[in-house]
Every structure is written in structure tokens, then in C-alpha cells.
Amino acid sequence: MVNPTGPEVIDNTVSTPSVSLASTYTYSGDGLKRSEVADGVRTTLVWDGTDYLGEV
């Protein structure tokens, strides 16, 4: 049975259709990655001038 909004059930096996998601990256003028959006979630990278301090 095919369910267009969810997994497809075949002989008691659940198969989830694959979905291709894109990632988007934002870089500053000096080439450092500042943020990314993956799977609809935005992550901002914090840079202190020497190292990445973390993600917000």
C-alpha cells in the first residue's frame, strides 16, 4: 500500500522514501564560514578572531 504522505509498508517491512535535502553555507569576506542551514536548521558559528568558539 502506498501512502503519499508517509512510509510505504511492503510485507511487514517499512520503507521510508529517500529525500534529498540541500545545505546552504554563508561565508564572510575573509573566507570564514559564518553559518549553515542543513535540514532546515540554521547554525551560526562564533569566531573570536583566532578560533571558532562554538555554534549558536
The pLDDT, as a whole number, for residue 43 is 93
Single-letter code of the amino acid located at 30: D
Q: What is the pLDDT of residue 2?
A: 47
| Residue 16, pLDDT score | 57
Q: Which residues contact 8 (CB under 8 A, 6 or more apart)?
A: 1, 2, 14, 15, 16, 17
Give residue for cell 540541500: 22
For the stretch 1-19, pLDDT in tens is 444 555 454 455 555 566 6
Task: Give the C-alpha separation, 44 to 56, whole Å.
Answer: 5
Whole-prediction pTM = 0.54
Q: What angle do CA 4, 9, 12 make, to 5 degrees?
A: 170
28 and 41 in contact (C-beta within 8 Å)? no
Instruction: Check residue 44 and give its pLDDT.
Output: 93
